[in-house]
C-alpha cells in the first residue's frame, strides 16, 4: 500500500490517521511523532501569528493513540505580546483525550547585539549524502511510520544498540494536500529518539515514552533533519533518552523522553 500522507483532513478539526502513522509496538496504534506534529500543526493553523516562533513543545501521551479518526481541539491558555502558551488536545472517536500538547511561542525581533554574540551549540553534522541509507527498526519488520521517512545513519544503525545519529526526511506530507512546514519536519522525527538509540532488542523489550519535551532555537533550513540520541536505563524499569536536533547549518534544539521499560508479553 502506497503512503501519501500521515493524516487525511475531514474538516472541523477532524483527521483520519493513515498507515504512515503506524507504531512498531502495535500495528493498530500510532507512533508518537505524527500525532505530536499534528497537534502543533493545528495550533499554528488555528492561532497564526507571524511575529512569534515555537520555542518549546511538551506532549503528554495520555493513552494509546488509535490508528483511526481523531479530533484536535486547540486553545490559547496564556496570551501575551512577547510570550504565549497554547494547548491542543487529541481525542479519539469516543471523545476521550489521548494526547495533550502545550506549546510556548516567543516573539522574534531583530537583535543586532545578540546577532554579534550568538553562538551555535554544535558544529554542522556530517552531510546526509555521506551517511548510510538504511531502514529503521528492521528487526521487527516493516511498519508504516518507518516507511514514511528516509533514514541515513551517521552513527550506530537500526540493528545496533547504543547511541545513534541519523539524518531523516519525510517522504510524504503531514496532512494530505498541504506542504510540510519547517517546524513539522523537526517534530515528525523527534519521538524517534528512543528508537534509534535503543539499548535493548526491539523484539524482546518495550521502551515506551509517556511524554516528549523539545526546546527549539530555530526551525529546519530544508527537508533534512539530523537526530543525535542516547538512552540511559535504570535497574527498575525507568529510562531516559536525551537528544539533539540539527540541520545543515548546525544546532536546532534538543529534548528528552522518559521511558517505561519492560519485557514484551510472550506471543
Orientation of helix 33-46 relative to helix 182-190, angle to 10°: 150
Task: Write out the three cell numbers for 10.
Answer: 475531514
Task: Convert the pLDDT of each residue in 169-218 to its tens digit.
Answer: 999 999 999 999 999 999 999 999 999 999 998 888 888 999 999 999 99
Average of pLDDT values for 228-257? 95
User: What is the pLDDT of the chain when averaged over all its residues?
Assistant: 90
202, part of any domain: yes
Q: What is the pLDDT of residue 127?
A: 72
Number of structural domains found in the chain:
1
Q: How far is it, in rounded angstroms, from Cα 14 to Cα 262?
A: 34
Q: What is the pLDDT of residue 92?
A: 97
186, part of any domain: yes
Long-range CB pairs of 135-140 (<8 Å, 24+ gap) are 136/166, 136/192, 136/195, 136/196, 137/24, 137/195, 137/202, 139/201, 139/202, 139/203, 140/24, 140/202, 140/203
Q: What is the pLDDT of residue 111?
A: 72
Q: What is the pLDDT of residue 266?
A: 78
156, part of any domain: yes
pTM: 0.91
2, part of any domain: no
Question: 137 falls in which pLDDT band (50, 70, 90)?
Answer: very low
Q: Do 207 and 261 contact (CB within 8 A), yes or no?
A: yes
Question: 265 falls in which pLDDT band (50, 70, 90)?
Answer: confident
Q: What is the pLDDT of residue 126?
A: 72
234, part of any domain: yes
Domain holding 69, by residue range, is 7-108+125-263
Q: How far is it, in rounded angstroms, from Cα 235 to Cα 114?
A: 44
203, part of any domain: yes
Q: What is the pLDDT of residue 5?
A: 97
Q: Is the pLDDT of residue 167 over 90?
A: yes
Range with lowest mean pLDDT among 30-34, 71-75, 156-160, 236-240: 156-160
Q: Is the pLDDT of residue 264 over 90?
A: no
Question: 140 falls in which pLDDT band (50, 70, 90)?
Answer: very low
Task: Convert the pLDDT of each residue in 32-56 to its tens digit.
Answer: 999 999 999 999 999 999 999 999 9
141, part of any domain: yes
Q: Is the pLDDT of residue 16 over 50?
A: yes
Q: Do 106 and 53 contact (CB within 8 A), yes or no?
A: yes
47, part of any domain: yes
Taking Cα atoms as reference points, which of 76, 89, 167, 77 lies closest to residue 128?
167
CATH of the domain at 17: 2.40.160.210
Amino acid at each position: 500500500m502506497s503512503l501519501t500522507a500521515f493524516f487525511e483532513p475531514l474538516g472541523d478539526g477532524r483527521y483520519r490517521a493513515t498507515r504512515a502513522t503506524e507504531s512498531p509496538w502495535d500495528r493498530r496504534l500510532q507512533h508518537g511523532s505524527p500525532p505530536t506534529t499534528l497537534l502543533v500543526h493545528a495550533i499554528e493553523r488555528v492561532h497564526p501569528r507571524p511575529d512569534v516562533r515555537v520555542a518549546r513543545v511538551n506532549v503528554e501521551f495520555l493513552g494509546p493513540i488509535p490508528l483511526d479518526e481523531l479530533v484536535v481541539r486547540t486553545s490559547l491558555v496564556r496570551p501575551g505580546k512577547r510570550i504565549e502558551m497554547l494547548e491542543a488536545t487529541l481525542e479519539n472517536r469516543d471523545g476521550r483525550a489521548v494526547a495533550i500538547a502545550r506549546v510556548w511561542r516567543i516573539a522574534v525581533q531583530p537583535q543586532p547585539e545578540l546577532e554579534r554574540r550568538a553562538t551555535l551549540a554544535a558544529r554542522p553534522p556530517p552531510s546526509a549524502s555521506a551517511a548510510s541509507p538504511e531502514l529503521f527498526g528492521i528487526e521487527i519488520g516493516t511498519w508504516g511510520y518507518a516507511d514514511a521517512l528516509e533514514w541515513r545513519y551517521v552513527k550506530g544503525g537500526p540493528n545496533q544498540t547504543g547511541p545513534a545519529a541519523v539524518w531523516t526526511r519525510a517522504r510524504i506530507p503531514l496532512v494530505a494536500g498541504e506542504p510540510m512546514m519547517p517546524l513539522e519536519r523537526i517534530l515528525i522525527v523527534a519521538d524517534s529518539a528512543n528508537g534509534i538509540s535503543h539499548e535493548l532488542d526491539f523484539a524482546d523489550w518495550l521502551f515506551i515514552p509517556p511524554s516528549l519535551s523539545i526546546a527549539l532555537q530555530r526551525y529546519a533550513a530544508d527537508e533534512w533533519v539530523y537526530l543525535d540520541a542516547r538512552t540511559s536505563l535504570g535497574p527498575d524499569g525507568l529510562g531516559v533518552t536525551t537528544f539533539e536536533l540539527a540541520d545543515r547549518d548546525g544546532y536546532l534544539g534538543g529534548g528528552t523522553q522518559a521511558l517505561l521499560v519492560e519485557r514484551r508479553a510472550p506471543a
